[in-house]
Structure 1
Amino acid sequence: MDRAVCIHGHFYQPPRENPWLGDVEVQRSAAPYHDWNERVTAECYGPNTAARILDADGMIAEAANTYSKISFTAAPTLLSWLERHRPEVYRAVVDADRESRERYGGHGSAIASCYSHLIMPLASPRDRRTQVAWGVRDFASRFGRKPEGMWLPETAVDIESLDLMAEAGIRFTVLAPHQAERVRVIGATGWTDVSGGRVETRMPYLCRLPSGQSIAVFFYNGSIARDVAFGDLLLDGRRFAGRLFGAFSRGGGRPELVHIATDGETYGHHRTFGEMALVYCLRTIEARSDTRLTVYGEYLAAYPPTHEVVVREGTSWSCAHGVERWRDECGCHSGAHPGWSQAWRRPLREAVVMARDALAPRSTEALAAHLRDPDAARDDAIGLVLGRWSDEAVEGFFSRHALRGLAPAERRRVLTLLEMERQAVLMQTSCGWFFDDVGEPGSVQAMRHACRAMDLARQVFGLDLEPAFIDILRRAPSNDPNYANGAAVYEALVRPAARDLARVAAGAALYGLFDLEPPAMYAVDGDRRYRLEEEGRRGLAGAVRVRSRATGDEALYDVAALFAGMDRVVLGVREPGGDEALREAWEKMVRGNQAGADLRVYTAADLSDEERWAVARRLAPGVGQAVSAVYRDAAALIGVLADLGIPASGAVTRLMEHSYNERLAAMLGEGCPDPDRFLALAGEMRAKELRSDLAALGEAASGRITLSAGTAAARPADPAPLEEIARIVRCAKVFPLPLSLWESQNICIGMRGRYADMQRRAEEGDGSAQQWARSFRRAAACLGVRVA
């Protein structure tokens, strides 16, 4: 009997980008990270590319890429963010699928996902088709193959969606056990009722579809999945494996597949060190001779369904009431606010559906004037997104779909319509309704996408849906006392995120002062005709051309920016008025005459959190330098006070603490070339009862250790970088400092093959190899890595 185990992780993050700018803005709740994508990547997505297996002494014996051994959802909105912001993690995920194909007979571990995670049974037929088409295209562009399986968001299922998936070449999907209605042996006449989760989960089923097509369905083991996601199974990888082994039937005579599906974020984000329990479980399974790991595609190829199933339409894995969680007050909630009402869900759904149904027919009609087949072009428009609206992507799209050669204005109209369509899809993302209040980030994000879609509709149709949209939101009560209803949330949190080209140009002028990159959604070009650099102030003025990559809309502006502190910012923008007019406006701004400058003016109060964050991050090192300069100027006086025994004021103490911390951080950043001096300085600090900045010192030490490890990997025979690692760790233990060693440990693990070679040469009498091997052993021990 063939016994196989498959663990599926649904790895997903919703779209978080500002719809006008194309960038994820700072999210305070994710601190100390910039946003939740960064945080979950640090806690889950990254660690799963190199999950640790520890030995009995707590040393890292091995690291494994779990994505290559489990089945996982390749969610487009997550992967697109990883590709831009964490390319090393993205490459590891893509490489894992390639590796898994070698392990699983040509069947990859990744499966596709409906593109933007909307609830398929609540979507229009048109949007369902596009979700499947975009999901397939996104997957193929990343993994270089067609997907065999596809994840339904929240496993929310309907027959039409399954039919669309089968038509697109999808062979299987995964559902919860309670989503099966009845089953029978293929060819039999009588059905067996398996509702209520009574379906046999250890086999795949055939689901026949109205079109004459069919798709296979795997129903996961619900009890084990619940204990992984919400219980304590991830406290012990061996116990996790034991539960999976125990789910096989006793003495069964047919092949069986024990499989589970949970959110992938369970492994490291929801459950700290969950990825370690996962990798230990996988290793335990691999060590068995009577059970093997598999993925759904491989198992389905070996064991096609012998039974067929009728699924329960309009059901999902995370709502006991079907799909009501995404449109009504059904009682399902996150658990964070048990007493809160979900009465806001229906009005938000009604507002979004109103906008969707108003825009769709107008868009189709408008596109038909320029494109051969508007629906086919819409499905193909994912190529524009994947190509970041490059000239090549745009040219290729119009060559395939345009009725004729289109004028520039016609092209911009088509691109604007397609971007409106994309935003109208994103506004339906499931997270808009999943949580507990209309003012929470998921709902706000859905409303922002709706706002952007309506913004574009105003531009292209002269149609203003926003008043009706807001009117519906007035019926969405908020649980947050700061907001009366969804309309108040919209006014406070949605509208301020909107940007027109002029505001983008003004922001670009601010970013130009600090050499920061403009928003991803825009190409910004310009000149800086006037600059100001003086004590306490900096500024610039010039002409800036701003072009939206997505729509092609562009405009030229005169801009000016003055910065004299985070609370003293002036940005000015206007239509071009010629060089002389710009010079006059600039001179008036410099003199403080903003009103006379004839510019649309923004001040510090108008800056977004992201703009404040970006500028503050750029300026923060200068604050430390300024404090150090004050200390240097006062050092002699501080010394006299100490000699005379005069108690230091709080301000003096803080200056001293900063100075010591800065010097220690500088030593760590240099690789601690003189450990004795470092230890002496740390001793002085302790004797004077000065507080150490553990976070800053730990960051400095961690950064240098990573740099040293990378240098060691690049210099095959040089022991110096390895010795530097040992010095830094020795110094770090004085406090002790919190060290982030994940990347340096990965490098060290990757160097163990070189160590084996050097150790062989050392045993043959090679003196330089002996020194390198000794240094590597010390560095590896400091990093907690077992060398053999």
Structure 2
Amino acid sequence: MRRAVCIHGHFYQPPRENPWTGEVEVQRSVAPDHDWNERVAAECYGPNTAARILDPEGLIEEVVNTYSRISFTAAPTLLAWLEQHRPAVYRAILDADRESRVRYAGHGSAIACCYNHLIMPFATREEKRIQVAWGVRDFAARFGREPEGMWLPETAVDIESLDLMAEAGIRFTVLAPHQAGRVRAIGGGAWTDVSGGRVDTTSPYLCRLPSGRSIAVFFYDGAIARDVAFGDLLADGRRFAERLTGAFSPGEERPELVHIATDGETYGHHRKFGEMALAYCLRAVEARQDVRLTVYGEYLDAHPPTHEAAVPEGTSWSCLHGLERWRGECGCRSGTHPDWSQAWREPLREAVVMVRDALAPRSAEALAALVRDPGAAHEDAVGLVLSRWSDEAAAAFFARHARAGIAPEEQRRLLSLLEMERQMMLMQTSCGWFFDDITEPGSVQVMRHASRTMDLARQALGLDLEPAFIAILRRAQPNDPAYPTGADAYETFVRPAAADLARIGAGAALYALFDLEHPAAASGMYAVRGDWQYRSETDGRRSLLGTVRVRCRATGEEALFDATASFAGMDRVAFGIRESHGEEGLRAVWETMVDADPTGTFSRVYTAADLSDEERWAIARALAPSIGSAVCAVYRDVAALIGVLEDLRIPVPGSAALLGEHADTVRLLSMLDRGCPDPDRFLALAGEIRAEGGRPDPVALGEAASRRIEGSLREAAARPEDPEPLEEIVRVFRCAKVFALPLTLWESQNLCIAMRGRYAGMQEQAGRGDRNAERWAEAFRRAAACLGVRVT
């Protein structure tokens, strides 16, 4: 392996979960998607598990799980979200690492990451230790092996963090070229100044640490990485490969590694179809005889460092001023608002540091009274998060760490302290200072984590830091004139997100009206058990009454409530909560609900004005299908009248045309949902609609056609010798072409590609006279052509 290429992608999303519920809430800025995690997963994380390589005719020739060939970081906060919300993508990433170990002599493609992406040089020594320990533990739990490398968030580096990584068994990390200071041959000799990005990036370096330990450092090729991330190198996968393989020294005899590191989201999210360019590049490099594709662990084993490097502290890959982007007005920004001030960064940093420094000694003292070894307990607490705070994990944790005879209320206090410590780390996540204003989502998120930290401090330590926190935020000046100070942003964006047990219990009643699970329960952070003894639906109003027990698994806090909810429209919502009054109390309330406001006797009552965006989104999604039913009902009532008006040439109101278009859509949807068993009938109806100037809903029809195509492929996979599901696909495509419907085919294409191995066998059977096999092979060829997949 004299010449090798390594491409590293740092895949990361900030924690976006509501700190009180543990679930990501709807984000308007990314509509129609629910949130940014969903958008980026659809554009990047999923596509990289099956990146397309096209043949000259534009057909899909090959799919590549790029994670199995590149080096990559998949940060814990991202993996946790993928595991719960995109399990197939999550499994494909884990499978890719297993596959890479075969390809790269036992070395996996994945490397670990400090736990929640805080700027390590700003952290205390204890926080750094926990960040490393949790990153290692999370990685091992997911990938089934110990990590060889670890990514420093924003590559922000200090010697203490490197030493703690080496102590944890980490062999290497990756830094930007401008983060190298001096180099010299191992064994002594004069140092050479390589600051300013002048380091030779084709070799690993040994970084000696004050403890006597050491860690290897790879400085990536900055010029190529910049052209990938910010230039046009991903416009052509062939040129991408040529740029990498052309970076070796001419005639050089010593081993060389050409390697780059960028955000993983570059491949598909920041650069559309970037994952396809990456896949083509990987295949092109692998096809060469003179260059080997590798990962850092394999290369380090084959070519240990021959030189050592001194790494200056306080540098990063995305701030020209070292670390100022995360605490001051340095000028580094996203580029969206070049004239905006960043003076808000300093008071925000000051506010979170104040909370941390005030709580850390108090928390350590409180933990010492509850556990035998506070450091070991804090390090092991990541197991509670990984298990989503299961009762079994909590019991095992107490058995390992709690002092003998610890009472239940002390167990709850212990859990609260550990959750407070976790939130205290989350409030320092780098994204809070990266962007352009304190009112933007990253900054709001860290303020929410700070608020939850202070909330838990009040409960567990009797310490209220919020007034001091808000006082500091008053010195933060947002760029958005709607918010005079950071304190105003806190009041607007943070306080409404807070949710205690009572608010979650009341919300659970509202969700139960629509047979939905409350997000707090879906996240695993809460156990929510409702016993809805009374329900009714009369005159368009839904009502519900019962009891709900809410327990925060993360803190052990628990309560039983009476809860009620009623709904007669999005503007006529009422739901309430009170302490449990027993069965008699519930019955008395229910008897008054027919004629009176059911919330009248409840201590806390919420109305439509109190609904969160997430609650409104969930209810609206649940009710959306009823709009179509209502329109159809109206159309049925007036269809005859519309017919008479048209027959007598009396002008028909414009609203009637809208009703007709919806009715047309419904009829077409019915045919698509059944797989277009009679395509000629579909085409005839489409012709009539077009002749009359009708405009059926193309989005709804496209979604229906896409669903049916995918469903037919799944049926074809389950019935391996039946050609009918494949023939159905061709029929649906034929019908979809009439209106040029927008189709979503990514998963269907994957299913088709997975079936290509069966085609050769069916062709062989067809050649021996098997008529059914001949029919199957023909149907598969036609279905694959519709999907843009090359058969062989």
Within a 5 Å distance, the mapping from 1:423-434 to structure 2 comes to 423-434=423-434
Structure 1 residues 354, 590: closer, same or farther in 2, change over 3 A? farther
C-alpha distance in structure 2 between counterparts of 1:307 and 1:12, whole Å = 31
Q: Name the structure 1 match of 2:545.
A: 541
Aligned pairs for 1:561-576 within 5 A? 561-576=565-580
Give the Cα–Cα distance (whole angstroms) in 1 for the partners of residues 115 and 420 of structure 2: 16
Q: Say whether the 8 Å CA contact 1:588–1:596 is kept in structure 2.
A: no
SS, match of residue 72 in structure 1: strand
Offset, 1:587 = 4.1
Matched, 1:704 2:700: no
Check conservation: 2:342, 2:436, Cα contact below 8 A.
yes
SS at match of 1:472: helix
- Is 287-296 or 661-670 further displaced after alignment? 661-670
Instruction: Report the residue type matching 2:298 in the other structure.
Output: E
2:62 matched to which residue of 1? Answer: 62
The answer on 1:86 being equivalent to 2:86 is yes
What is the DSSP-based 3-state SS (H/G/I as helix, E as strand, rest coil) of the residue aligned with 2:532? coil
* CA offset digits 1:468-490 (Å, max 9, x no partner): 00110001101111111110010
CA shift at 1:589, angstroms?
A: 4.8
Q: 1: CA distance between counterparts of 2:587 and 2:346?
A: 54
Local SS of the residue matching 1:542: strand
Counting only pairs closer than 5 Å after superposition, residues 172-211 of structure 1 correspond to structure 2 as 172-211=172-211
**TM-score normalised over the length of structure 1:** 0.99
Is the contact made by 2:325 and 2:434 (CA closer than 8 Å) also made in structure 1? Answer: yes
Counterpart for residue 252 of structure 1? 252
Query: Using the alignment, how far apart are the partners of 1:489 and 1:431 within structure 2?
Result: 17
In structure 2, distance between residues paired with 1:471 and 1:37: 33
How far apart in 2 are the matches of 1:783 and 1:451? 50
Structure 2 counterpart of 1:653? 657
Work out the CA distance in 1 between the residues paired with 2:400 and 2:599.
51
Q: Which moved more, 1:404-413 or 1:80-89?
A: 404-413
Partner Cα separation in structure 2 for residue 572 and residue 658 of structure 1? 38
Number of paired residues?
788
- Structure 1: runs of 5 or more not aligned: none
Counterpart of 2:752?
748
Q: Distance in 2 between matches of 1:486 and 1:674?
A: 62
> Is the contact made by 1:329 and 1:343 (CA closer than 8 Å) also made in structure 2?
yes
Give the conservation status (yes or no) of the 8 Å contact 2:575–2:599: no
For 1:264-663, what aligned pairs fall within 5 Å after superposition? Answer: 264-518=264-518, 519=520, 520=523, 521-593=525-597, 596-663=600-667
- Decide whether the 8 Å contact of 2:574 with 2:599 is kept in 1: no
- Cα displacement string for residues 716-746 of structure 1 (whole angstroms, at most 9, x for unaligned residues): 1011110111111111111101111000100
Q: Does the residue aligned with 2:207 lie in a helix, a strand or coil? A: strand
Tell me the distance in 2 between the aligned counterparts of 1:724 and 1:592.
Answer: 55
Is the aligned partner of 1:727 residue 2:728?
A: no
Letter in 2 for 1:574: R
Q: What is the one-letter code of the residue matched to 2:231?
A: G
For residues 389 and 71 of structure 1, the distance between their equivalents in structure 2, rounded to whole angstroms, comes to 31
TM (norm. structure 2) is: 0.99
Distance in 2 (alpha carbons) for counterparts of 1:718 and 1:427:
56
Matches of 2:714 and 2:594 in 1, distance apart?
A: 47
Which string of whole-angstrom CA distances, capped at 9 and with x for unpartnered residues, describes residues 414-464 of structure 1? 001000100001000000000000000000000000100100111111111
Q: Offset at 1:357?
A: 0.8
CA contact (8 A) 1:48 1:275 kept: yes
In the TM superposition, what is the alpha-carbon distance from 1:761 to its structure 2 partner? 1.2
- Stretch of structure 1 that moved more, 525-534 or 208-217: 525-534
Query: In structure 1, what is the Cα distance between the partners aligned to 2:462 and 2:666?
Result: 58
How much does 1:764 deviate? Answer: 1.8
Counterpart of 1:43 in 2: which secondary structure?
helix
Question: Which residue of 1 is the match for residue 675 of structure 2?
Answer: 671
Conserved 8 A contact 1:661-1:693: yes
The answer as to whether partners of 1:594 and 1:601 remain within 8 angstroms in 2 is no
> Deviation of residue 591 (structure 1)?
2.8
Secondary structure in 1 matching 2:6:
strand
Letter in 1 for 2:473: L
Hey, which bits of structure 1, 4+ residues long, moved more than 6 A?
none
Maintained 8 Å contact 1:510/1:571: yes
- Sort the Cα spacing of 1:780 and 1:497 in 2 relative to 1 into closer, same or farther, 3 A: same
Q: Distance in 2 between the 1:783 and 1:405 partners?
A: 65
Moved more, 396-405 or 705-714: 396-405
Deviation at 1:529, TM superposition (A): 1.9
Corresponding residue SS for 1:436: coil
Unaligned stretches of 5+ in structure 2?
Answer: none
Amino acid at match of 2:81: W
Looking at structure 2, the residues matched to 37 and 587 of structure 1 have their Cα atoms a distance apart, in angstroms, of 45
- How far does residue 577 in structure 1 lie from its aligned partner after superposition? 1.7
Deviation at 1:622, TM superposition (A): 0.9
SS in 1 for 2:148: coil
Q: Deviations over 1:295-347 (max 9, x none)?
A: 00000000000000001210000000001000001000000000000000000
Bigger drift between 578-587 and 526-535 goes to 578-587
How far is 1:94 from its partner? 0.3
Alpha carbons 1:589, 1:597 under 8 Å: kept: no
2:769 counterpart (735, 744, 765): 765
SS of the residue corresponding to residue 785 of structure 1 reads: coil
**Pair 1:21 & 2:21 matched:** yes
Pair 122,380 (structure 1): closer, same or farther in 2 beyond 3 Å: same
| Paired residues of 2:61 and 2:790 also in contact (CA < 8 A) | yes
| 8 Å Cα contact 1:426/1:446 also seen in 2 | yes
How many Å apart are 1:678 and its aligned residue?
1.1
Shift of 1:590: 4.3
| Paired AA for residue 323 in structure 2 | V
C-alpha displacement at 1:549, in angstroms? Answer: 1.1
Residues in 2 aligned to 1:593 and 1:618: alpha-carbon distance in whole angstroms: 24
- d(CA) in 1 for partners of 2:287, 2:670: 48
Offset at residue 644 of structure 1 (A): 2.1
Question: Which AA in structure 2 matches 1:419?
Answer: E
Instruction: Say whether residues 1:778 and 2:782 are aligned partners.
Output: yes
AA partner of residue 470 (structure 1): I
Deviation at 1:526, TM superposition (A): 2.7
Once residues 587 and 222 of structure 1 are traced to their aligned partners in structure 2, the CA distance between those partners, rounded to angstroms, is 73
The one-letter amino acid of 1:228's match is V
Measure how far apart 1:594 and its partner are. 5.8
Aligned-partner Cα distance in 1 for 2:291–2:602 = 76
Change (3 A) 1:594 1:474: farther
CA contact (8 A) 1:61 1:785 kept: yes
RMSD between aligned residues = 1.0
Q: 1:66 to 1:595 in 2, by over 3 A?
A: closer
Which whole-Å CA distance do the structure 2 matches of 1:563 and 1:594 have between them?
A: 11
Which amino acid in structure 2 is aligned with residue 639 of structure 1?
G
Which amino acid in structure 1 is aligned with residue 481 of structure 2? P
Contact 1:119-1:156 at 8 Å conserved across structures = yes
Quick one: distance in 2 between partners of 1:375 and 1:161? 17
CA distance in 2, matches of 1:252, 1:94: 37
Give the CA deviation at 1:661: 1.0
Bigger mean CA deviation after superposition, 491-500 or 757-766: 757-766
Q: Does 1:9 align with 2:13?
A: no
Change (3 A) 1:391 1:250: same
Amino acid at match of 1:74: A
2:285 and 2:292 in contact (8 A); partners too? yes
Per the TM alignment, residue 757 of structure 1 is displaced from its structure 2 partner at its CA by 1.1
Q: Is the 8 A contact 1:183 1:308 kept in 2?
A: yes
CA shift, 1:595, in A, is: 6.9
* 2:53 match: 53
Following superposition, the deviation at residue 708 of structure 1 comes to 0.7
Residues 333, 435 of structure 1: 8 Å contact kept:
yes
